[in-house]
Amino acid sequence: MGMRFVRVLGSAVLAALVAMSWVSIAHAVVSITACDTLSTFGQTYNVTADLHASGGDCLVVASSRITINLQGHSIIQDTATAFGAGITDGGIARDVTVVKNGSIKGFVFGIELDSSTRSDVRNVTVSENDLDGILVGDNSLVKAAAAHDNGLTGILGGDGIRGKERVQVQDSETSGNGANGIRVGSSCLVTGNTAEENLEDGIATGGSCTVSHNTASDNDGDGIDVGQEDATVNGSKSLVTANLAEDNFDDGIRVECPSTVTNNVSSGNFLNYDFVGGNCTISNNKE
């Protein structure tokens, strides 16, 4: 009985110490009222007023596992000829950055987290940035975002949402951007999005992707291009299903084979369907 009591007591003490260790690394939420460098690991920063930048970056993510809650506020570049980004990792790899609930306008890049991994961008609107609206690195998620009128002042144009490998873009809207609405690499999931009136493709992906339940219309390039002409990985082994592509200047739906293309509607495009190569599985598509 005595030994059993000691073991139980020891387990209770260990559990208490573990709980205390978690408490010791927890951080109180920090309020932000001006542009700044965010350098505390695991910190949540709440923006409590609109932030105005005067020539460069506004919020620099300088550690991992940082959450930025804009709380409905905006980040605005006040200098017309400025450089920088609304939110950036500064070209240094960070991990698990969360940005949510607000808007960013007037920078070179709205959100520039392409050097980082596992970023999570939700419910953010980016507009009128010189180049790309949202840039994310590998294994990232962009959900319920809006990217419009980006890349119109840059020489090369810019994408509304651009991601690297294994990126998910979901339930987002892109329109009027100077290049592609959505452009991501291979092993991606692009679903439930709307891409309209972009100056290149509405949606462009690499290979081994699932592209489903999207609407792409009135784009100056292809509506949906799975396996871009300039991609380093072709579009084979992808699933393209239940999409709507209408009135795009080039192809409605262009897919590199072998892929599975089913249950799509493509109409009013220069070429409604363009299957590149052989051995695609094609069924129940309509024009």
Query: What is the third-level CATH fold of 2-283?
Result: Pectate Lyase C-like (2.160.20)
User: DSSP H helical segments within the chain, as ranges?
Assistant: 2-25
Residue 69 — very low, low, confident or very high, per pLDDT cuts 50/70/90?
Answer: very high
Tokens of 78: 């006040």
Residue type, 173: E
Predicted confidence at residue 146, as pLDDT, reads 98
Predicted confidence at residue 156, as pLDDT, reads 73
Which DSSP helix (H) or strand (E) runs through 115?
Answer: none
Tell me what the mean pLDDT of segment 16-34 comes to: 61
Predicted confidence at residue 8, as pLDDT, reads 38
Alpha-carbon torsion (95, 144, 267, 218), positive or negative: negative
| Predicted confidence (pLDDT) per residue in 189-221, tens digit | 999 999 999 999 999 999 999 999 999 999 999
Residues whose CB falls within 8 Å of the CB of residue 163, separated by 6 or more in sequence, listed in order: 114, 135, 136, 137, 140, 142, 169, 183, 184, 185, 188
**What share of the chain has pLDDT > 70, as a percent?**
86
Q: Give yes or no for residue 17 having a pLDDT over 70.
A: no
Q: Give yes or no for residue 34 having a pLDDT over 90.
A: yes
**What share of the chain has pLDDT > 90, as a percent?**
81
Across the beta sheet with 59-61, the strand order is 36-38, 59-61, 85-88, 109-113, 134-136, 161-163, 182-183, 203-205, 224-226, 251-256, 271-276
Residue 9 — very low, low, confident or very high, per pLDDT cuts 50/70/90?
Answer: very low
Predicted confidence at residue 55, as pLDDT, reads 83
Predicted confidence at residue 229, as pLDDT, reads 55
User: Phi, psi at residue 14, to the nearest 5°?
Assistant: -60, -45
> Distance (Å, rounded) from C-alpha 210 to C-alpha 8?
51
Predicted confidence at residue 15, as pLDDT, reads 44
Least confident of 105-114, 120-129, 155-164, 256-265: 155-164
When computed from its CA atoms, the radius of gyration of the chain, rounded to whole angstroms, is: 22
Predicted confidence at residue 10, as pLDDT, reads 47
Predicted confidence at residue 235, as pLDDT, reads 59
182: which strand partners? 161, 203
Predicted confidence at residue 154, as pLDDT, reads 67
Alpha-carbon torsion (43, 44, 46, 52), positive or negative: positive
> Distance (Å, rounded) from C-alpha 63 to C-alpha 285?
47
| Contact predicate 252/271, CB 8 Å | yes
> Distance (Å, rounded) from C-alpha 175 to C-alpha 147?
7
| Contact predicate 121/136, CB 8 Å | yes
Residue 273 — very low, low, confident or very high, per pLDDT cuts 50/70/90?
Answer: very high
Least confident of 9-23, 24-38, 74-88: 9-23
